[in-house]
Amino acid sequence: MTDQPKIAIVGAGSLRGKELNDALADSPFADADFLLMDDEAQLGSLEAVGDEVTFIQRIDSGSFAHVDFAFFAGDEQLTLRHWQNANRAGASIVDLSFALEGQPGVLVRAPWVDAELEPLPAAADPNLAPGLETPAIVPAHPVATALALLLARVAQNSPIRSASATVLEPASEYGRAAMDELHQQTVKLLSFQELPRQVYDTQVAFNTTPAFGDAAQFSLAKSESRIRRHFALLSAGRLPGVDVQLLHAPVFHGYGISLAVELAAPTLLDQMEAALAGEHVEIVTAESDPPTNLTVAGQPDILVRVRPHTTKEPETTRFWIWAGLDNLRFATLNALACALELKRLRPSGEVQ
């Protein structure tokens, strides 16, 4: 790999693709040579990566020649059509679409979480860490990453007896079409017209729901299952389990997570806040406005407010943690952290 890597963003016109463009400009990859690729609908569009402006190109069998890193940021079908060409060309693949999860040798990763946990014993599965033969990395779901990061820090302060989370999901998690339908439903409701249901097959405007319609393009149950699965993979037995319920909220951007934890020993609020604070987590005290979908927009960190279950005693074993994060920004930064892991491997070989 040269000092100036060549990076392909596949699905550059998607919400995640555009977020990745912005994040790369402020990353160690800022001086890379960028290729923007997408399907027919996005061809010829102008996009900026840092100070450079380039066109979105058509994807063909030779598109990945000499590419060092290929970020797949579009939908699952786009990834499945083209990832093997990138793999054969020797590119390190980072899949933000989740399409490659379950493929042989593909790993689910969140390097920030690994930095918080005890290293796995030498006898553990060697496939839990990336190597030269790793075909692709799937950055862990942003909610799974956030929950693992928060619980890892809580556990360092006191053993955790139980943890459960209710997660409020935004429309942008499913792309621009889902956002457009939420907007259109809102307009139609206010003018007493029939609602469009092509994406959700149910009303999502002014409504929080635990399930989409039978004909929906996406599955809330599948997303909830992915959060649980990714959390278990990141934990690898090093964290207590957490119960998760996923609800779709009528908002465009930003996850909200209501996390209830019960500790083994009474703890002061100040101790909990100190345990949680650190890289990737910003504590918001009661004197400031709480984290919301608006305040997390564009923020790289998880914004967290903690309150005890009761104010009758100075110490308690039960706490509520309200956390907010920008789903697109947080997922993109985790993807870059995964790519940096692969970058450290490439000088001595290529990830195949």
Q: What is the CATH number of the domain that holds 22?
A: 3.40.50.720
Q: What is the pLDDT of residue 309?
A: 86
Mean pLDDT of 131-139: 90
Q: Which domain holds residue 148?
A: 144-327
Quick check: 106 and 65 in contact, CB under 8 A? no
Confidence of residue 207 (pLDDT cuts 50, 70, 90): very high
In the chain, what percentage of residues exceed pLDDT 90? 76
Q: What is the pLDDT of residue 41?
A: 57
* Cα distance between residue 325 and residue 304, in whole Å: 9
Q: What is the pLDDT of residue 127?
A: 56
Mean pLDDT of 239-248: 96
* Cα distance between residue 145 and residue 234, in whole Å: 8
Mean pLDDT of 69-73: 96
Q: What is the pLDDT of residue 314?
A: 82
Confidence of residue 198 (pLDDT cuts 50, 70, 90): very high
* Cα distance between residue 174 and residue 200, in whole Å: 10
Q: HSE, CB side, 13 Å, CA atoms: give it for residue 323.
A: 30
**Chain centroid offset of residue 66 CA:** 28
DSSP assignment letter at 197: -
The verdict on residue 1 lying in a domain is no
Residues 22, 157, single domain; the answer is no
Mean pLDDT of 4-25: 91
The verdict on residue 106 lying in a domain is yes
Q: What is the pLDDT of residue 121?
A: 66
Residues 228, 316, single domain; the answer is yes
Mean pLDDT of 139-146: 98
**Chain centroid offset of residue 204 CA:** 22
Q: What is the pLDDT of residue 350?
A: 46
The answer on pLDDT for 53 being more than 70 is no
Residues 272, 342, single domain; the answer is no
Confidence of residue 43 (pLDDT cuts 50, 70, 90): low
Residues 84, 229, single domain; the answer is no
The answer on pLDDT for 161 being more than 80 is yes
- The domain tally of the chain equals 2
Residues 149, 134, single domain; the answer is no
The answer on pLDDT for 263 being more than 70 is yes
Q: Which residues of 125-142 are buried (b: 16+ CB within 10 A; e: fewer)?
A: eeeeebeeebbbbbbbbb
The answer on pLDDT for 40 being more than 90 is no
The verdict on residue 118 lying in a domain is yes
Residues 127, 155, single domain; the answer is no
Residues 17, 134, single domain; the answer is yes
The CATH number given to whatever domain includes residue 189 is 3.30.360.10
The structure's pTM equals: 0.92
